[in-house]
Amino acid sequence: MENLEYVNNLKPGDILYLRGGVYYVNETINLMVSGLSDAYITIRNYPGEMPVLYGSDKNILNGKIKFSEYEDGVYYANLSRSPLYVAQDSERLYHYKSLEDLLKMKVGVKGGWFYDPSTKRLYVATINGTNPSLSRLHVSKLYAILNVQGRYIDISGLEVAYAYYGIVLSRGSSDCVVENCHIHNINRGIHTGRGVSNSLIQNNTIWDTGIMKWPWDMVKGTDAEGAGISLSYAGPGNVVRFNRIMGLFNGIAASAWGDLYNTSLIRDTDIHDNYIIDVGDDGIEPEGSGINLRIWNNIIVNSLCAVSLAPITYGPTYVFRNLCINFTLLGFKLNSEYPSSGWKYLYHNTVYSSITHPSNIWRELPIIIGSTGARYSRLITRNNIFHLSGNNYIITTRHTHDECSFDYDNLYQNCELPHQLLKFALVEGTDYRDMNALKTSAKIEINGISADSRFVDPEKGDFRLRSNSPCIDAGVAIPNFNDDYYGDAPDLGAIEYKP
């Protein structure tokens, strides 16, 4: 199967089954038809089989295009246009901006590529230094494997790999479903165009390689700055749930950067029950109006920032019952060139870092809320567990925190240093070194506690509360958020204790 042009002959109610096997896609498959609300057009795997759609250049894989030695372990081949993605087997290679940088391996790990448009040469250094002709080199020139522009389309059960984008829901599409797909070796797994609305993205596994090995500052601002799921300038009514995302620069990005005050974008959206691990920047990144944006029951492990609310311009944005584990810089990012002035509610999150040494790039230990230069207002926190293992601030803001309210949280710092050296909270430029000072002087966390939460086994990822946890019954009732609590009052954190 070289292409699927005939997909545009599909009618409402049609189901196109793809048989198992590897299919090389020469050009982006553009699906430009629509179903009906009661008669979706479906493209899916044949039951029990897995169709695999690769954007790799087959002529390179089968050896018809040969590589010749250039120098110092770098090889070249003639290629008519620039690739968008290159991998050796499943290991992504870094895209260098010059041949000189490729020869120097400036990213610090072996393997990389550079395309010279003046000579139409692709230069490649493999991970093991061998001629790329002897390796399984995936070179893709595809913008996307599948591009959907329509309504009432269901894409299910496909494996998609080796392209810049995996599956795209183009501008204006609505009421589409992408589910049960395995998407890998891409820069953005599932991407929505401007105004995409009422679509469901669920039960997909999305991953990439390379990103976590490369320095952050050599990925940020480059073509490797991607995301597992990107709701780019998306409209209302979208749901992103039950997805597993690994190894991308961002996990789930819901951004209207450049149009942050547009109230028709990044709103009325649910992001829940996703598992996001090993991402180079933000686990979940909503940027824009954030009107009725709900983020809950997600697990985010090993990120730079777990959740970036930088900025939310209107709100309300609700972030509740998420597990945010081992972020290297920020639990909740609130700083950007714009103040985060929309209403933001953080309820029942467990935010935990066991990191005790600063990263080489940032040279500081993790902070939970804000940063030492953050500008934000209208932030409400209730019933959270904020746990740091290193000496840095749990709450920070250097500017007036108008209409903010912090209470009924557990702010705990597992750090054995003399009291005068402790960082605990930084509020409007004033240091507070413990909970008592924060309560009495700053009038913050009046009903909060500062104690070891006594998780069952945090080293193994078990953040349930033990029966003797001080977080049990230490919270406050919040209608519609914790109505089903056990005991005398809600517990703190993402997981209610159940005896």
pLDDT band at 20, cuts 50/70/90? very high
Q: Lowest-confidence range among 317-321, 340-344, 458-462, 469-473? A: 340-344
Compute the distance between CA of residue 366 and CA of residue 357 in angstroms, rounded to an integer: 9
Q: Are 366 and 399 in contact (CB under 8 A)?
A: no
pLDDT band at 33, cuts 50/70/90? very high
CA distances from 223 to 80, 121, 211, 218, 397 (A): 20, 19, 11, 10, 32
Per-residue pLDDT reduced to its tens digit, 110-131: 999 999 999 999 999 999 999 9
| Token pair listed for 106 | 């400036």
| Cα dihedral: 95, 59, 52, 194 (round 10) | 50
pLDDT band at 393, cuts 50/70/90? very high
Q: Residue 367: CB partners within 8 Å, gap ≥ 6?
A: 329, 330, 331, 392, 393, 394, 396
| HSE-CB of 405 using CA atoms within 13 angstroms | 11
| Mean pLDDT taken over the chain | 95
SS3 7: helix
Q: Lowest-confidence range among 20-34, 101-115, 297-311, 397-411? A: 397-411
Q: What is the mean pLDDT of residues 8-31?
A: 96
Judge whether residue 358 has pLDDT over 90.
no
Q: Residue 162: CB partners within 8 Å, gap ≥ 6?
A: 54, 55, 56, 85, 87, 138, 140, 142, 185, 186
Compute the distance between CA of residue 175 and CA of residue 95 in angstroms, rounded to an integer: 36
Q: Which single residue is written with the structure tokens 């949280």?
A: 409
pLDDT at 401 (0 to 100): 64
pLDDT at 10 (0 to 100): 96
pLDDT at 114 (0 to 100): 98
pLDDT at 420 (0 to 100): 77
pLDDT band at 143, cuts 50/70/90? very high
Compute the distance between CA of residue 141 and CA of residue 210 in angstroms, rounded to an integer: 19
% of the chain at pLDDT higher than 70: 98
Q: Which single residue is written with the structure tokens 């250094």?
A: 125
Judge whether residue 3 has pLDDT over 60.
no
**Burial zone of 359 (CB within 10 Å; 0-12 exposed, 13-18 middle, 19+ buried):** middle
Compute the distance between CA of residue 88 and CA of residue 192 in angstroms, rounded to an integer: 28
Q: Give me the sign of the Cα torsion angle 128, 130, 136, 140.
A: positive
Q: Residue 452: CB partners within 8 Å, gap ≥ 6?
A: 412, 414, 470
SS3 381: strand
Judge whether residue 391 has pLDDT over 70.
yes
pLDDT at 161 (0 to 100): 98
Compute the distance between CA of residue 145 and CA of residue 211 in angstroms, rounded to an integer: 21
pLDDT at 419 (0 to 100): 76
Cis peptide, bond prior to residue 311, ω within 30 of zero? yes
66 vs 419 pLDDT, higher one: 66
- The three-state DSSP-derived secondary structure of 239-308 is EEECCEEECCCEEEEEECCCCCCCCCCCEEEEEECCEEECCCCEEEEEEECCEEEEEECCEEEEEEEEEE
Q: Lowest-confidence range among 213-227, 290-304, 317-331, 391-405? A: 391-405
Looking at the DSSP assignment, which residues form a beta bridge with residue 121?
78, 116
Q: Any idea what DSSP says for residue 403?
A: T
Judge whether residue 191 has pLDDT over 90.
yes
Q: What is the mean pLDDT of residues 84-94?
A: 98
pLDDT at 360 (0 to 100): 76
pLDDT band at 138, cuts 50/70/90? very high
DSSP one-letter string for 128-182: TSS-GGGS-EEEE--SEEEEE-SBSEEEES-EEEEEEEEEEE-TT-BS-EEES-E
Judge whether residue 170 has pLDDT over 70.
yes
Separation of first and last alpha carbons in the chain: 56
Q: Lowest-confidence range among 210-214, 400-404, 480-484? A: 400-404
Judge whether residue 1 has pLDDT over 70.
no
Q: What angle do CA 294, 474, 392 make, to 5 degrees?
A: 70
Q: What is the mean pLDDT of residues 439-443?
A: 94
Judge whether residue 362 has pLDDT over 90.
no
Q: Which amino acid is at 375?
A: R
SS3 464: strand
Per-position b or e across 192-212, b if 16+ CB within 10 A of its CB = bbbbbbbbbbbbbbbbbbbbb
pLDDT at 339 (0 to 100): 76
Judge whether residue 2 has pLDDT over 70.
no
